Amino acid sequence: MSKNLTKRSEDYSKWYNDLVVQADLAENSGVRGCMVIKPYGYAIWEKMQAALDKMFKETGHENAYFPLFIPKSYLSKEASHVEGFAKECAVVTHYRLKNAEDGSGIIVDPDAKLEEELIVRPTSETIIWDTYRRWIQSYRDLPILINQWANVVRWEMRTRLFLRTAEFLWQEGHTAHATEKEAIAEAEQMMHIYADFAENHMAMPVVKGVKTETERFAGALETYCIEALMQDGKALQAGTSHFLGQNFAKAFDVKFATKEGTQEYVWASSWGVSTRLMGALVMTHSDDNGLVLPPKLAPIQVVIVPIYKGEDQLDAIAERVAPLLKELRQKGISVKFDDRDSYKPGFKFAEYELKGVPIRLAIGQRDMENNTFEVARRDTFAKETVNADAVIEKIEFLLEDIQNNIYKKALDYRTNHITEVNSYDEFKKVLENKGGFISAHWDGSKETEEQIKNDTKATIRCIPLDAKQEEGVCIVTGKPSSKRVLFAKAY
């Protein structure tokens, strides 16, 4: 299977696309910019959803569902918001098709034009704050802590599977609070939850920080983010959480009566992660043989491949394996016994490597005689023969060890790819030759940020929460700066 997979060193971008398609994660559809998420890819997304949903609920959030369509006038109510989304939105203008009178086929019925155009949601702040106006009268109605799992559409011109698609799946949290402090605390909490998920489920280290004004969400006063680093040295924004101030409350006139009886505008946060995380997952761990999946998100954690000649041998192996399958499943470990007769073991081995199954067991005649399994791990390709009595313990150990090992590997890579520089020349050299995050002083101005972007394509990924406080000077203008920020080229 992996024979046709482009090598990372040859063409990283092609390797990524090949892998996403060949490992059955997703493919392009007949609709421009829209992907089909295939069952194997969707199974990973379901595991992401389940883990995130649990974290959201444990922190007091509830799920709800708001309309797909947003009246044009709603989108227009918050000035910077519409500015941010108007250029790339799908617009519904009619509600009926009909047979053309000249027999040329099905056409849009010109008599079925909507009075007001509807935008397919690019994000739901506006429709949700229009709803919150009805829900919020008093401080007793606050906070509102709601999340939505939904599809959204942004009409991107250049799309890539998972990383940038016209339609994508995501969750969007939208919370309403009585105080500024609470809303900020909520936005910060969600950034920490995203980081926890990225590191402990995806095994993907992230930097937590805030965006510069230029990179902020359209309508936010502060955007918190988690930034990851891909194997090609490019950064990827993996999740954002926004403190929205009272912008949407003012745009949609959402006030509440305080305990003291005054009327005040409500404070807001919103936060989201999307199927983009699937792309981040692929690019953080995978190799030239295929996917490498963290055990916590792998749809199949263990595959057992029988090596046999004839049906009798297969039956004997199946009998030997049956209690193991049962026990693993009882422990909540997902295991597949691949007894397909139409494919040879070598083909199966390559297939499960391509699909990133963390642990592979093989059992042949010698194993039957010796009461053993051959146990192979996907991350390091290490193989060993393990006695059947010890195999469950071994699997449990490996699931944890692989999860930790791939995290450590990614962390080491990132640690080696955060480079402090003190001049613009050095900045450009590192960006060109090594990539990764570049930690540098910046004077805090939009102009300098833009100049660097125009010169080098690098952007400020974030001002890290734990940014080094030190006196320095901007690498471009020489103006004073008190902390370093992280630059990178980014997806």
Interacting residue ranges for a second copy, rule: CB under 8 A: 27, 29-31, 34-39, 42-43, 45-46, 62-72, 74-76, 82, 86-98, 105-106, 108, 117-120, 127, 130-131, 134, 140, 146, 150-151, 153, 155, 167, 169, 342
Shortest Cβ distance from residue 399 to a second copy (Å)?
22
Shortest Cβ distance from residue 342 to a second copy (Å)?
7
User: Can you tell me the distance from the alpha carbon of 358 to that of 328, in angstroms, rounded to the nearest whole number?
Assistant: 15
Nearer residue to a second copy within complex by CB, 99 or 214 = 99
Nearer residue to a second copy within complex by CB, 74 or 248 = 74
Shortest Cβ distance from residue 34 to a second copy (Å)?
4
Is the CB of residue 124 less than 8 Å from the CB of residue 173? Answer: no
Nearer residue to a second copy within complex by CB, 40 or 413 = 40
Residue among 217, 129, 230, 121 nearest 169 (CA): 121
DSSP β-bridge partners for residue 238: none
User: Can you tell me the distance from the alpha carbon of 419 to that of 434, in angstroms, rounded to the nearest whole number?
Assistant: 9
Shortest Cβ distance from residue 218 to a second copy (Å)?
13
Tokens matching residue 38: 């295939």
User: Can you tell me the distance from the alpha carbon of 344 to that of 348, in angstroms, rounded to the nearest whole number?
Assistant: 6
Is the CB of residue 108 less than 8 Å from the CB of residue 97? Answer: yes
Nearer residue to a second copy within complex by CB, 104 or 262 = 104
Shortest Cβ distance from residue 52 to a second copy (Å)?
14
Start-to-end Cα distance in the chain: 28
Shortest Cβ distance from residue 177 to a second copy (Å)?
17
Shortest Cβ distance from residue 361 to a second copy (Å)?
23
Q: Which residue has the tokens 């000035």?
A: 79
Is the CB of residue 455 less than 8 Å from the CB of residue 429? Answer: no
Residue 369: helix, strand or coil by DSSP?
Answer: helix
Nearer residue to a second copy within complex by CB, 12 or 69 = 69
User: Can you tell me the distance from the alpha carbon of 443 to that of 88, in angstroms, rounded to the nearest whole number?
Assistant: 32
Nearer residue to a second copy within complex by CB, 45 or 424 = 45
Is the CB of residue 361 less than 8 Å from the CB of residue 398? Answer: no
Tokens matching residue 377: 């791990």
DSSP β-bridge partners for residue 167: 153
Is the CB of residue 444 less than 8 Å from the CB of residue 476? Answer: no
Beta strands at 418-420 and 437-441: parallel, antiparallel or unpaired: parallel
Nearer residue to a second copy within complex by CB, 14 or 94 = 94
Shortest Cβ distance from residue 35 to a second copy (Å)?
7
Nearer residue to a second copy within complex by CB, 67 or 472 = 67
User: Can you tell me the distance from the alpha carbon of 214 to that of 350, in angstroms, rounded to the nearest whole number?
Assistant: 46
